[in-house]
């Protein structure tokens, strides 16, 4: 017999997480539903001098490439920053999180005072299943490469500067990318 989890049950689990118990602290038992985005990945011929494993993000093309070798990359379709929120530079993956909580930065909460201080892991969390935290000179930039529960945002200019992948793709990327990985944003 298949067990059906209702929205009230999910909300109750989220409330437990906020209170310090439940999946957020007990190994995060959240599962990615099958309808949360097929993989958008494919291999592309691209000549580069970057080392294998380096991430190259093109905000103009809305792609994230992981260098395989000097002539090929694995390419993912992504959602990028909307007008006025794009940025460029070289950063590193400074931390990683499974089923991260989302804490909107102060600037974001200033633009929208109705945003919560924190959103626990789960179906309403905009960071999705995994997050790679981007750092510059050892400091958190507050930008992330993360999953999303809104798969229709992939391929759009939709974020406040973060890079969104389907949950299917971020799960794969998360397992392949170690802390310290170089990330080039163009």
Q: Which residues are catalytic?
A: 146, 162
- Backbone phi and psi for residue 179, each to the nearest 5 degrees, phi listed first: -60, 140
The answer to whether 54 touches 178, Cβ cutoff 8 Å, is: no
Q: SS3 of 7, please?
A: helix
Per DSSP, 161 falls in state S
Element housing 164 (H / E): strand 163-164
Any bridge partners for residue 134, and if so which?
93
The answer to whether 94 touches 135, Cβ cutoff 8 Å, is: yes
Q: Whole-angstrom Cα distance, residue 117 to residue 61? A: 32
| Angle of CA points 90, 57, 75, to nearest 5° | 140
Q: What is the dihedral of CA 95, 96, 102, 104, to 10 degrees?
A: 30
Q: Whole-angstrom Cα distance, residue 121 to residue 103? A: 11
């Amino acid at each position: 017999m298949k067990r059906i989890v209702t929205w009230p049950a999910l909300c109750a689990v989220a409330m437990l997480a906020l209170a310090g118990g439940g999946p957020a602290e007990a190994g995060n038992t959240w599962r990615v539903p099958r309808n949360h985005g097929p993989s958008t990945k494919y291999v592309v011929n691209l000549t580069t001098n970057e080392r294998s494993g380096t991430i190259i993000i093109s905000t103009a093309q809305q792609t994230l490439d992981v260098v395989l070798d000097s002539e090929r990359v694995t390419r993912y379709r992504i959602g990028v920053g909307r007008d006025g929120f794009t940025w460029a530079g070289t950063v590193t993956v400074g931390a990683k999180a499974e089923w991260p909580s989302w804490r909107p930065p102060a600037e974001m909460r200033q633009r929208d005072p109705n945003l919560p201080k924190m959103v626990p892991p789960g179906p309403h969390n905009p960071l999705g299943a995994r997050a790679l935290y981007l750092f510059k000179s050892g400091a958190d930039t507050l930008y992330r490469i993360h999953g999303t529960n809104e798969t229709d945002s992939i391929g759009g200019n939709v974020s406040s500067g973060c890079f969104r992948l389907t949950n299917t793709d971020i799960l794969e990327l998360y397992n392949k990318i170690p802390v310290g990985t170089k990330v080039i944003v163009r």
